[in-house]
């Protein structure tokens, strides 16, 4: 397992301030990761705080437990933020600890540095490792198994939609060629297939990001189904908030951020079309706290350049039941 200290929590100060948790609050961290945000929340709260941390990755849960120790205020649950809502342990925690609803929900989307830097997890083109990329190593197909199921059209579509890769078609063909020739086993093999279309050195000389970045992002998103049910998870989370409770979501690329923005606006009763009127009345459950989102400070950007693409969106629950607009 990589060093726990390798993960620096992003926008830590902003998250803690924006959540406005009461000292005895009820809080859900849906992407516990290595427990960086959770640690700060526990440190600033009183003995009555109850924090439920959820993560789909067993290594992350173990690392968070090692970091946070046997704090009686903390419960850690193995599940996804899409499915946790119907987990009997979540329902029991909710009934016992938060019968009136939650004061705060945090989602810090994407991968942790623990995942990205551990070669055996297969997330990084910088390290030689198996083509895995699953956040939960016990669930679903590996990246290699997923690629084996694709044809040139579906692979190119995934590279284009999830990686915004303009050379999606030739890269898809190069990946499938390598696979069919028995040359696709590792992260390096996948990166090499991309470099046959977009050579690495010229990009490096121009100071551009590595040409494999977008392909790795796209395949990781597809393998983990990262965008498919994010909107639904946000709606389920908002439904758990008590009036005045806040939800804070950090996203790391525009595809995620667009879903967060649209979901928050929809739940705030703001219609984004098509047409002038929604076909049915929108819920009015949220107030947008920072409609444009918050980005990392200059100081954070220079201390932690990996935070550069982060955007924090915050919204506050304004009513107990959906109201017609
Ligand atoms: C950016 S890290 C969170 C870091 C954490 N806030 C910290 O300070 O240490 C994101 C975490 O979310 C987890 N994750 C990603 N998608 C998930 C999902 N659908 N359900 C539950 N956990 C998920 C990943 O396994 C990873 O540990």
Q: Atom 2 in ligand 1: which residue has the minimum CA distance?
A: 112
Nearest CA to ligand 1 atom 8: 36
Sequence-ordered alpha helix ranges (H) in the chain: 12-19, 36-44, 58-68, 88-97, 113-117, 143-148, 152-163, 168-180, 187-195, 200-205, 213-224, 230-240, 254-267, 298-303
Q: Which residue has the tokens 């046959």?
A: 196
Contact residues for 43 (Cβ-Cβ < 8 A; gap 6+): none
Residue of 19, 29, 31 to test ligand 1 pocket, by largest number of atoms within 8 Å of CB:
31
Of all protein residues, whose CA lies closest to atom 7 belonging to ligand 1?
Answer: 36
In the chain, how long is the greatest CA-to-CA distance? 60
Give pLDDT tens digits for 174-202: 999 999 999 999 999 999 999 999 999 99
Beta-bridge partners for 59: none
What is the per-residue pLDDT for 62?
97
CB 29 within 8 A of CB 39: no
Cα angle: 264, vertex 110, 272; to 5 degrees = 25
Q: Domain boundaries in the chain?
A: 4-110+227-317, 122-224
Q: For domain 122-224, is the CATH number 3.30.1600.10?
A: no
pLDDT of residue 7: 67
Pocket test for ligand 1, best of 29, 55, 67, 222 (most atoms within 8 A of CB): 55
- CATH number corresponding to 4-110+227-317: 3.40.50.150
Structure tokens at 220: 């990781």
pLDDT mean across residues, the chain: 94
d(CA 247, CA 132): 31
Query: What's the pLDDT at 4?
Result: 43
pLDDT tens digits along 25-77: 999 999 999 999 999 999 999 999 999 999 999 999 999 999 999 999 999 99
Q: Whose CA is nearest to atom 3 of ligand 1?
A: 33
């Amino acid at each position: 397992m990589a060093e726990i200290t390798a993960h620096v929590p992003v926008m830590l100060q902003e998250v803690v301030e924006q959540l406005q948790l009461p000292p005895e609050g009820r809080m859900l961290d849906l992407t516990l990761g290595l427990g960086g945000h959770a640690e700060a929340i526990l440190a600033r709260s009183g003995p009555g705080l109850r924090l439920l941390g959820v993560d789909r990755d067993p290594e992350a849960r173990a690392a968070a437990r090692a970091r946070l120790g046997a704090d009686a205020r903390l419960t850690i649950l193995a599940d996804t933020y899409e499915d946790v809502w119907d987990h009997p342990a979540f329902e029991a925690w909710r009934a016992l600890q938060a019968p009136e609803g939650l004061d705060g929900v945090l989602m810090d989307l994407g991968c942790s540095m623990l995942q990205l830097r551990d070669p055996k997890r297969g997330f990084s083109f910088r390290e030689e490792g198996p083509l895995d990329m699953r956040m939960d190593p016990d669930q679903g197909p590996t990246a290699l198994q997923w690629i084996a199921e694709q044809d040139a059209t579906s692979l190119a579509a995934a590279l284009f939609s999830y990686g915004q890769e303009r050379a999606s078609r030739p890269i898809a063909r190069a990946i499938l060629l390598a696979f069919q020739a028995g040359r696709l086993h590792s992260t390096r093999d996948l990166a090499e297939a991309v470099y046959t279309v977009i050579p690495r050195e010229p990009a490096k000389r121009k100071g551009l990001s590595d040409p494999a970045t977008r392909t790795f992002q796209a395949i990781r998103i597809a393998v983990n189904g990262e965008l498919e049910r994010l909107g639904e998870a946000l709606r389920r989370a908002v439904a758990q908030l008590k009036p005045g409770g806040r939800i804070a979501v950090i996203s790391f690329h525009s595809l995620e951020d667009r879903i967060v923005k649209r979901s928050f606006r929809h739940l705030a009763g703001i219609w984004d079309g098509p047409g002038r009127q929604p076909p049915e009345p929108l819920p009015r459950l949220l107030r947008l706290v920072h409609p444009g989102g918050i980005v990392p400070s200059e100081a954070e950007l220079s201390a932690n350049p990996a935070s550069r693409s982060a955007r924090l969106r915050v919204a506050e629950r304004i009513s107990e039941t959906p109201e017609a607009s």
